[in-house]
Amino acid sequence: MSTPRRGATPPRKPPISAARRENRAGLAFVTPTFVVVLVVVIIPILWTVLLAFQNAKLVDIQQNGLFGRWTLDNFEQVFGSPGFWSSLGTTLAYTVGATAGSVVLGLVAALALRRPFRGRGLLRAAMLLPYVAPVVAVSFVWEVALSPQYGIVNEWGSKLFGWDDPIAFLSTRSYEVGFLGLHFDIPLALLTVIAFETWRYFPFAFLFMLARLQAVPDSLEEAARVDGATPTQRFRHILLPQLMSVIALLSVLRFIMTFNKFDDVYLLTGGGSGTDVVAVRVYDFLTSRFDVGAASAQALVLAVVLMVLLGVHFKFFGKKMQEESA
For another protein, the binding residues in 214-233 under the rule CB under 8 A are: 214-215, 228-232
From the number of C-beta atoms within 10 Å of its C-beta (0-12, 13-18, 19+), residue 184 rates as exposed
Contact between 286 and another protein by CB under 8 A: the answer reads yes
Give the residue, chosen from 34, 79, 85, 314, that forms a contact with another protein under the rule CB under 8 A: 34
Min CB(202)–another protein separation in Å: 9
Give the residue, chosen from 16, 72, 186, 211, that forms a contact with another protein under the rule CB under 8 A: 211
Contact between 192 and another protein by CB under 8 A: the answer reads no
Of 49, 88, 63, 67, nearest to 293 by C-alpha is 49
Buried b or exposed e, range 270-293, using 16+ CB within 10 angstroms: ebebbbbbbbbbbbbbbeeeebbb
- The three-state DSSP-derived secondary structure of 161-176 is CCCCCCCCCCCCCCEE
261 CB contacts (<8 Å, ≥6 apart)?
94, 95, 197, 277, 279
Q: In the range 300-319, which residues lie near another protein by CB under 8 A? A: 300, 302-303, 306-307, 310
Q: x-or-dash pattern for another protein, window 237-276, by CB under 8 A?
A: -----x--xx------x--xx-xx-xx--xx---------
For residue 147, the tally of other CB atoms under 10 A from its CB is: 17
Cβ distance 205 to 250 under 8 Å? yes
Give the residue, chosen from 135, 220, 238, 321, that forms a contact with another protein under the rule CB under 8 A: 135
Contact between 112 and another protein by CB under 8 A: the answer reads yes
Min CB(62)–another protein separation in Å: 7
Min CB(180)–another protein separation in Å: 25
Min CB(185)–another protein separation in Å: 26
For residue 89, the tally of other CB atoms under 10 A from its CB is: 11
Report how far apart, in Å, the C-alpha atoms of 230 and of each of 3, 163, 219, 239 are: 65, 42, 16, 13
The residue (of 174 and 283) whose beta carbon lies closer to another protein is 283
Residue 3 carries which DSSP code?
A: P
Give the residue, chosen from 68, 134, 162, 217, that forms a contact with another protein under the rule CB under 8 A: 134
Only segment of 75-83, 93-101, 293-301, 312-320 that touches another protein (CB under 8 A): 293-301
Min CB(11)–another protein separation in Å: 20
Contact between 43 and another protein by CB under 8 A: the answer reads yes
Contact between 45 and another protein by CB under 8 A: the answer reads yes
Min CB(22)–another protein separation in Å: 5
Contact between 296 and another protein by CB under 8 A: the answer reads yes
- DSSP H or E run through 154: helix 152-160
* 3-class secondary-structure state, position 194: helix
Q: x-or-dash pattern for another protein, window 64-103, by CB under 8 A?
A: ----------------------------------------
Report how far apart, in Å, the C-alpha atoms of 194 and of each of 15, 107, 272 are: 62, 17, 14
**Cα 190 from Cα 271, distance rounded (Å):** 10
